[in-house]
């Protein structure tokens, strides 16, 4: 799978500012080199937490690659602190291969995505493109779905009549936005997996089905009518 970008999106993404936070200088250099080949010219590095705040301020990144095993600090707490401080741009956590606990902690702390070491550069670049694309195209747009207003940038649903608000996760918001953009058509499971997760070998449709189930539960807190429909090939929004 690969992420297809318009020329305008490619131009915006290539100008993105990326911050790599990892104690491994060889890995930082390798990633930086690959990003340069991909057209990214604004790449910054931080090797230890002591340098992080200064580098963050100078870099003003559009995306952060954050190693979960940074030597002199707690990457989970850094991620949580960034989100608590209002940093809303994508964070991709670099985790230990096979460590489900690390993955769960990273996502709960506010990371948008994760990738296990040793890194597969093609996969990493695809995920960076996915996150930047989603970040740049969300903007302040709002969508009306049934009697709900969906705001992708804030990842919220609110009921028009009562003003009650329901928070969505990053993945749920991206899935819902993708379904809205495809309406009245349907999208296949593989298309959603590519759009939301990027290139990820071995990712099962069960992961998507779990997110769809949770999204439906949140929608049903407002609206008992099913808005996300299952089709023969995948999913679509109800009329």
Strand 228-230 to strand 187-188: parallel, antiparallel, or no bridges (unpaired)? unpaired
Residue pair 44/20 in contact (Cβ under 8 Å)? The answer is yes
Q: d(Cα 167, Cα 165) in Å, to the nearest integer?
A: 7
Angle at 81 between CA 75 and CA 82, to 5 degrees: 90
- Domains in the chain: ranges and CATH: 7-137 (3.40.50.2300), 140-237 (1.10.10.10)
Calpha distance 84→25 (Å, rounded): 28
Helices (H), 15-156: 25-37, 52-59, 75-84, 100-109, 121-138
- CA angle centred on 50, ends 46 and 52, rounded to 5°: 40
- Contact (Cβ atoms closer than 8 angstroms) between residue 38 and residue 5: no
- C-alpha to C-alpha distance for 36 and 161, rounded to whole angstroms: 49
> For the whole prediction, is pTM greater than 0.75?
no
Residue with tokens 């999913």: 235
Per-residue pLDDT of the chain (239 residues; tens, 9 = 90+): 344 455 655 666 778 899 999 989 999 999 999 999 988 989 999 887 777 788 888 888 989 999 988 776 788 999 998 888 878 789 999 987 667 788 888 888 889 888 988 898 998 998 898 888 777 665 556 777 778 888 877 788 888 888 788 899 888 988 888 888 788 888 888 888 887 877 555 567 788 899 999 999 998 888 777 888 999 889 998 87
Residue with tokens 């991206």: 174
Q: Are 119 and 89 in contact (CB under 8 A)?
A: no
């Amino acid at each position: 799978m690969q992420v297809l970008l318009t020329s305008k999106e490619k131009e915006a993404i290539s100008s993105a500012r990326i911050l790599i936070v990892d104690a491994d200088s060889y890995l930082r250099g390798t990633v930086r080199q690959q990003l340069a080949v991909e057209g990214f010219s604004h790449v910054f590095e931080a090797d230890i937490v002591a340098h992080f705040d200064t580098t963050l301020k100078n870099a003003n990144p559009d995306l952060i690659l954050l190693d979960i095993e940074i030597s002199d600090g707690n990457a989970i707490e850094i991620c949580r602190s960034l989100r608590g401080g209002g940093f809303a741009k994508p964070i991709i956590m670099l985790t230990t291969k096979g460590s489900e606990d690390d993955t769960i902690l990273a996502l709960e702390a506010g990371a948008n995505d994760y990738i296990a070491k040793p890194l597969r550069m093609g996969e990493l670049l695809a995920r960076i493109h996915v996150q930047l694309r989603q970040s740049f195209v969300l903007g302040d747009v709002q969508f009306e779905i049934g009697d709900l207003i969906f705001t992708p940038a804030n990842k919220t649903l609110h009921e028009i009549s009562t003003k009650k608000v329901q928070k969505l996760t990053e993945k749920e918001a991206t899935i819902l936005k993708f379904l809205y953009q495809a309406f009245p058509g349907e999208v296949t499971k593989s298309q959603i997996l590519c759009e939301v997760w990027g290139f990820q070998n071995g990712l099962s449709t069960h992961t998507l089905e779990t997110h769809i189930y949770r999204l439906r539960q949140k929608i049903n807190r407002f609206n008992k009518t099913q808005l996300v429909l299952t089709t023969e090939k995948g999913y679509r929004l109800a009329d």
